[in-house]
Structure 1
């Protein structure tokens, strides 16, 4: 039987938070993606994502923060983790999450909590509306790379094989050690095996109010799930013991955790999972790109995985779009690895330190002074940033932004009442001091195949970008400072075409 053939700009494997985010961000940049997943439906996870301010800024710039906020959990819901012997017993201790308070002066976007499944549903809907096609029960059989693209063979639900030709292949599911055979992995590896038992029970009159419970009687956790009276009991469990856990045995474990056997319990389902820490040695190999769990798997504490995955998709999408428009060289993809792999390594190290677990994936380059700096102050170093001679710091304090290339472009309230953040998302933006605006050329060179938008910074906020009234700051579509001229002159404008060429890897791209 002759195979059918399809051509798509981008093939994404994995209808995960990472894969669906990539499809949504690509769609926002005008690039339709085909997303395939071998499962008929992704398993529901009890975990909640605390979407940081930086993640919400990315979603806001792309235009789909509101649908995410619509399914976000009540901000007033308790977030502390209570340690108890059983749920009916007294609270032995309370652990508050280490989340920072984000001042309005730093960002108008607030963090929010979303359940993994509900977040995936929103991203799937957004991606579909922006041109993505989602095919479940469709698996990647094999693929091959060449200079012009990727040829992949997919297996459809009925068993028929289908050949897809794409410009790029994004692997967004699995784990780093099982995605690309020619890309190595490193890290501590598997830290433990766990089972999540989803159940329904009215615990309102039984348990104290908390965001979750560490239950000593069973050596596990009881966590709330979306929906009234829905919970999950999460336990360490060796894979060989899974067959022993019948519904009856699961109810016994839940009764033990509650501390009573007279509560009506209904088992909804079970999911086994590993807590793992490992990372790929490279996040891309030419047109093959790893993101999400395919690139890096970190322990679920402190809930940063969803942020890492969304921000990886945010980083790679505008670069792929620029290459497909013919406005950037393929070498631009290498900046994805240079920018996101160090960030993923920092995330693993952060999770391991909070778990008090031995082992890291890379030596810490600098001390992280606080959580706010960790979430908003990370700095990129790559060819997609024209760095200055400043020592190459890894972090900067978002309360005292510098505007240095590689940093997050700071929130500034413009004279129009908008935030600078409202301008980031689609294309490059030139932020200009008030004295620089009159000297702007009539026509700016295009960046990434799109027109550069110009925004005037008010005089009182120039310090946030480290420029004078004559200064210029070029911001990438993902809200990262790419280049700046602290005191711009005619030569600065003359250099801009070369600056854009360097940022888009249009020089010496031999691949």
Structure 2
């Protein structure tokens, strides 16, 4: 046992998580929710007071919903509109160089997912994740840093330094490195990164002030400021409290540093951006940060796995960073849990890199595109050229992605690693399982509501034999596998299931614990139990 003051934790755990950002906290909560013995260490004293990654897309809210966390995350209500605006300007009052408006009307939220988009900033979501992780049994130690680690064939041995200043040994089966953009674990592993790297140095300033009409609650707006004296971004965090965030750039090559941002300097920058020379803002917090775009060359080295910003770092444009971090954590959690409880072979963890690294490449590329587009001199689109909106691009990246790995058995070209329009889902293996409204015992539910804990087999109306096969194979392999049948325990009032999942009346679709189609059969084979057994042993690397 390790004793850090009043805290006593085990010195032998299944998973050691390093870092309490979104990836680390979500990973601890997801792992603990699956019964995994997990310890998280974080060198800071608490969670972040800065909103940073604001907003959760529908995919993230689905994953949080699988873990019973989404209900605590503030979200847009059905029919709530007003739109979100990105305004490129010289200052808050003007002039405006360019403007983008994203339709935030959620009246048709049920078209893509049963989950509504979340609205939490990182300062709100991290405490929610922390609370759930601790409630589920995870050990979280703040004021505790990883000093060193080494791995062997059977596990990882780490040295951690607690708040008492002493160093202690922790032995874990696996280590999840969620220690941020400048990951010490990644550096110790010798993992290189590719991409443009550093894109600029910034300081974020949280302040309270009454800005009147410059900050309207009717239209949430991200102001990208390109003024003669100030360059950065501004957003209102809490209209009711008059709390705002201004993030401004500085240039180390000219001798500038975070130390230059004194309280008076910060107040002067706020006055310049607002063009309110008499304003007396109350500075609440100041934090330096670096904008960067880079992806690690490997997400797994033996028993150490990289997640969140340690695996990839992306500019804040598009809000992909925090959402991708939660996605990393969920993918790792269900796979680690399956390996640790023996329902999957260790090779299942190889699919983490195969599946999540291409996602990282895509979101970093899209964020870089948005950064370039949000400058005063950005090239205008060619007249008559086919345009894809930022909203459609985001939908395809977050809901229309495809995984290609040994944990997906494709029935088409395995080299097809692109995205698809989530408004027209194909149900092909590797893609997110389509959302279809169904009825069970007279109550409306989404197909997505069936996913999250284990594997799910969804059969067509003539696929009754699939359900008995699912029960047989679940018992034989010792795993969670729930079988459902349209027309038996589930009703399909819109007759949408078969077309959206791409199967026939006697076919079936196998869904992984992360809501991704693992395999499908368009019709009934001669021996469905034998087929299902072969499919699952391949997917789980058994």
Give distance in 2, aligned partners of 1:9 and 1:439. Answer: 35
Give distance in 2, aligned partners of 1:220 and 1:439. Answer: 57
Unaligned runs of 5+ in 1: 358-366, 507-511
The yes-or-no answer on 1:279 pairing with 2:295 is yes
Secondary structure of 2:120 counterpart: strand
Corresponding residue to 1:191 among 181, 199, 204: 199
Give distance in 2, aligned partners of 1:144 and 1:100. Answer: 50
- Return the offset for 1:400: 2.1
- Return the offset for 1:304: 0.9
TM-score scaled by structure 1? 0.90
Q: Which moved more, 1:247-256 or 1:452-461?
A: 452-461
Q: Which moved more, 1:249-258 or 1:140-149?
A: 249-258
Corresponding residue to 1:424 among 420, 429, 451: 451
Equivalent residues of 1:176, 1:278 under 8 A apart? no
What's 1:246 paired with? 262
RMSD over aligned Cα atoms: 2.7
TM-score scaled by structure 2? 0.85
What's 1:179 paired with? 185
Query: Aligned runs of 1:163-312 on 2, under 5 Å?
Result: 163-175=169-181, 178-180=184-186, 181-207=189-215, 210-215=220-225, 216=227, 217-226=229-238, 228-239=241-252, 240-312=256-328
Q: Which moved more, 1:468-477 or 1:254-263?
A: 254-263
Secondary structure of 2:84 counterpart: coil
- Return the offset for 1:18: 0.5
Q: Per the alignment, do residues 492 and 392 of structure 1 end up closer, same or farther by CA in structure 2, a change over 3 Å counting? A: farther
- Return the offset for 1:100: 9.6
Secondary structure of 1:445 counterpart: helix
What's 2:378 paired with? none
* Greater length-normalized contact order (CA 8 Å, ≥ 6 residues apart): 1
Corresponding residue to 1:411 among 409, 432, 435: 435
What's 2:355 paired with? 339
The yes-or-no answer on 1:470 pairing with 2:500 is no
Query: Aligned runs of 1:347-362 on 2, under 5 Å?
Result: 347-356=363-372
What's 1:130 paired with? 136
Equivalent residues of 1:444, 1:451 under 8 A apart? no
The yes-or-no answer on 1:433 pairing with 2:460 is yes
Equivalent residues of 1:88, 1:207 under 8 A apart? no
Cα offsets for 1:63-105 (capped at 9, x unmatched): 1110113799x95566213344443456565332487976523
Give distance in 1, aligned partners of 2:496 and 2:89. Answer: 52
- Return the offset for 1:225: 2.2
Unaligned runs of 5+ in 2: 4-8, 374-386, 487-491
**How many residue pairs end up in the alignment?**
496
Equivalent residues of 2:215, 2:236 under 8 A apart? no
Secondary structure of 2:26 counterpart: helix
Q: Per the alignment, do residues 5 and 426 of structure 1 end up closer, same or farther by CA in structure 2, a change over 3 Å counting? A: closer
Secondary structure of 1:255 counterpart: helix
Secondary structure of 1:114 counterpart: coil
Equivalent residues of 1:143, 1:150 under 8 A apart? yes
Q: Which moved more, 1:385-394 or 1:322-331?
A: 385-394
- Return the offset for 1:460: 4.4
Secondary structure of 1:441 counterpart: helix
